[in-house]
Chains A and B, each alone.
Chain A
């Protein structure tokens, strides 16, 4: 089996609803995500995931929060959210992988 492009390591006590929101966010952005269950805090899991992901982007989820960690700057979270906001977080994380701007509130008419 090939290595994942983006990997999420999810603690055992993360509810299924949060996991579903994580997957939905990546699916909406059409970015593939591999999810595995593992033990640790969100940051520890994100760091471990980033080390294994081909794109150098790892996600970690524990019962309190979710974070995205870059393999090249693994000391700190690059993006984070309380678990309640995991759907929007997942779409933003997918956009980091896809090199697209993060989601933002609608902006006035522009030409871009």
Chain B
């Protein structure tokens, strides 16, 4: 009779099939895995499980008789952009950030927005920021020269297209000119605005100062909060544009919830402070506010995006962004999934034990592991610590690291997943790669033009470009920091909650993330002061750290049947 242990994870579903013969140890015939379909424990997961079972049956030429599962609690992971919520809450200030890569001139300027056509008349007493829309750069420069000759005080220029240098060269090379402002056409004519261009390699220094920005935009003392938020929103960028829009409703802005509130086990409610470390598992029972509503919470983990000390501009952008990486583990109900899966095999489907017991049993199949007193299962959604008679489950693992990579790189989930797992390099020239350790290597064939200047994932094939121009050294440090901050810290939280690990003890790591050498390094560094040995599981001696739970479910079933 064939049975299959099914580990439905937050990211990956694994299936271990074994033949059970009375009086003999299970004969494991293979392990299969696929991406989890739907939220962990939901009926949507049945599609992925069924596909795996079909693959196994085709390969083995024999039907699976029974499916064996563990209790399933889902984890919700995400990024909460607190800084972005504050920008929406800017009261009477609208922030526009031009994507200008080739601005002209340097310095900060404030004034009233005026279209080129509006500068054909007599000058007013105030400085103006001229707005160039679809005019040809030669015509725009001529119009600006003529306006200045008529007495208009042109303090800066905002250009919709990519013509800043061309206009600057024909009008005034010193004047700050920002371009590639996609929404220039809807900028309110007559409104006060401030813009700044920093010299190449630097970031703005005046409009990111709330007092100077308030001066440029003539903000009153009652608008100090808006000035602070607007200044923070443009910090760390080479070019910035802030437009003051009169008449934006303050009441609408106040309706935006920019906080995350925690309901604690002692009945109190507190506002989440992202600078504070998360409390031990079991302390938070519910969440409210900007992160959505979560009930029956078992654990909540959060951290800020890692910040690179060697890149002050990026560091400031991350600080003002205030992105909160958040993972919430809630009690789940997988009875519906079980009912659906029970139809898939003649012997039905059943819950055999909890995940921790299964993981311990699975990790114990590692050669020389013995009884594996401490097993840490690092999966997609949780870091689980298992020891005899005790399990601690903490929210936040590989998937949260992926979300952090996604937030840092500005890419989709699949690209972030690959960037998390593989080294990266920047294509410096068509033939030269700049690696994370600062070394260079030469390409036999020129890199594709779209990869030039970009950070690229090196996964064995041609460089895979990411939408990022981060220095490889900076990115490598951020990626490792993300693993340290999420997985390293969660391993520590789990160990602390379990009462610690005796000195000299063996800690065996299993789970998908344990196949990542950087994760092993992060855990070993986190546990450095505990004097423990950190080893990677090798389930059944051939599957590496993967499939421990799926294999353990079969072992638990065999032991009980």
- Whether A associates with B in a native complex is yes
What's the Cα separation between A76 and B317 when bound, in Å?
A: 41
Residues of B within 8 A of A111 (CB): 314, 317-318, 321, 407-410, 468, 470
* A28 interface residue (CB < 8 Å to B): yes
Residues of B within 8 A of A78 (CB): 430, 446, 449
A24-B137, A111-B321 known, 4 other contacts, Cβ within 8 Å: A100-B101, A103-B162, A106-B99, A110-B408
Stretch with Cβ within 8 A of A (4 or more), from B23-31, B123-131, B417-425, B450-458: B450-458
* A96 interface residue (CB < 8 Å to B): yes
Q: Write the chain B residue with the least CB distance to A100.
A: B453
| Contact (Cβ within 8 A) A95 B469 | no
Residues of A within 8 A of B449 (CB): 78-79, 92, 96, 102
Q: Write the chain A residue with the least CB distance to B182.
A: A106
What's the Cα separation between A100 and B428 when bound, in Å?
A: 8
Contact A99-B410, Cβ < 8 Å, known A27-B169, A28-B102: no
Residues of B within 8 A of A104 (CB): 467
| Contact (Cβ within 8 A) B453 A73 | no
What's the Cα separation between A102 and B164 when bound, in Å?
A: 17
Q: Could you say which of B84, B101, B166, B410 contacts A24, with CB atoms under 8 Å apart?
A: B166
Residues of A within 8 A of B259 (CB): none
Min C-beta distance of B445 to chain A, whole Å: 7
| Contact (Cβ within 8 A) B166 A27 | yes
* A41 interface residue (CB < 8 Å to B): no
Residues of B within 8 A of A107 (CB): 410, 467
| Contact (Cβ within 8 A) B430 A73 | yes
Residues of B within 8 A of A109 (CB): 84, 410
| Contact (Cβ within 8 A) B453 A99 | yes
Complex interface bits, B392-428 against A, C-beta within 8 A gives 1, otherwise 0: 0000000000000001111100000000000000001
What's the Cα separation between A95 and B430 when bound, in Å?
A: 12
Residues of B within 8 A of A103 (CB): 162
What's the Cα separation between A107 and B450 when bound, in Å?
A: 14
| Contact (Cβ within 8 A) B445 A73 | yes
| Contact (Cβ within 8 A) A101 B469 | yes
* B85 interface residue (CB < 8 Å to A): no
Residues of A within 8 A of B469 (CB): 101, 112
Q: Write the chain A residue with the least CB distance to B429.
A: A99
Residues of A within 8 A of B470 (CB): 111-112
Contact A70-B446, Cβ < 8 Å, known A100-B453, A102-B452, A106-B182: yes
What's the Cα separation between A66 and B314 when bound, in Å?
A: 37
| Contact (Cβ within 8 A) A73 B409 | no
Q: Could you say which of A28, A73, A99, A108 contacts B452, with CB atoms under 8 Å apart?
A: A99
What's the Cα separation between A39 and B314 when bound, in Å?
A: 49
What's the Cα separation between A106 and B162 when bound, in Å?
A: 12
Residues of B within 8 A of A92 (CB): 449
Contact A112-B468, Cβ < 8 Å, known A24-B166, A78-B446: yes
* B165 interface residue (CB < 8 Å to A): yes
Interface of A is mostly: loop
Min C-beta distance of A97 to chain B, whole Å: 10
* B163 interface residue (CB < 8 Å to A): yes
* A1 interface residue (CB < 8 Å to B): no
| Contact (Cβ within 8 A) A27 B165 | yes
| Contact (Cβ within 8 A) B430 A70 | yes
Residues of B within 8 A of A95 (CB): 452-453
Min C-beta distance of A46 to chain B, whole Å: 14
Q: Write the chain A residue with the least CB distance to B448.
A: A78
What's the Cα separation between A23 and B108 when bound, in Å?
A: 29
| Contact (Cβ within 8 A) A112 B165 | no
- Please count the residue pairs between chain A and chain B whose beta carbons lie under 8 angstroms apart in the complex: 83
| Contact (Cβ within 8 A) A96 B430 | yes
Min C-beta distance of A67 to chain B, whole Å: 12
| Contact (Cβ within 8 A) B162 A91 | yes
Contact A96-B468, Cβ < 8 Å, known A24-B137, A111-B317: no
Most chain A CB within 10 A, of B99, B102, B455, B468, is at B102
Q: Write the chain B residue with the least CB distance to A20.
A: B138
Q: Write the chain B residue with the least CB distance to A55.
A: B429
Q: Write the chain A residue with the least CB distance to B200.
A: A30
Per the 8 Å Cβ criterion, residues 94-148 of B in contact with A are: 99, 101-102, 137
What's the Cα separation between A27 and B163 when bound, in Å?
A: 9
Q: Could you say which of B101, B137, B180, B468 contacts A110, with CB atoms under 8 Å apart?
A: B468
What's the Cα separation between A94 and B226 when bound, in Å?
A: 40
CB<8 Å pairs between A and B, sample of 10: A27-B166, A28-B102, A29-B102, A99-B429, A102-B453, A106-B99, A106-B180, A110-B411, A110-B468, A111-B468
What's the Cα separation between A28 and B163 when bound, in Å?
A: 6
Min C-beta distance of A55 to chain B, whole Å: 9
Q: Write the chain B residue with the least CB distance to A97.
A: B429
Contact A110-B410, Cβ < 8 Å, known A73-B430, A101-B452: yes
| Contact (Cβ within 8 A) B137 A96 | no
Most chain A CB within 10 A, of B452, B453, B467, B468, is at B452
Min C-beta distance of B404 to chain A, whole Å: 11
Residues of A within 8 A of B455 (CB): 112
| Contact (Cβ within 8 A) A96 B166 | no
What's the Cα separation between A110 and B446 when bound, in Å?
A: 27
Residues of B within 8 A of A108 (CB): 410
Residues of B within 8 A of A73 (CB): 430, 445-446
What's the Cα separation between A30 and B102 when bound, in Å?
A: 9
Residues of A within 8 A of B169 (CB): 27
| Contact (Cβ within 8 A) B467 A110 | yes
What's the Cα separation between A15 and B72 when bound, in Å?
A: 69
Residues of B within 8 A of A30 (CB): 102, 165
Q: Write the chain B residue with the least CB distance to A68.
A: B449
What's the Cα separation between A79 and B407 when bound, in Å?
A: 31
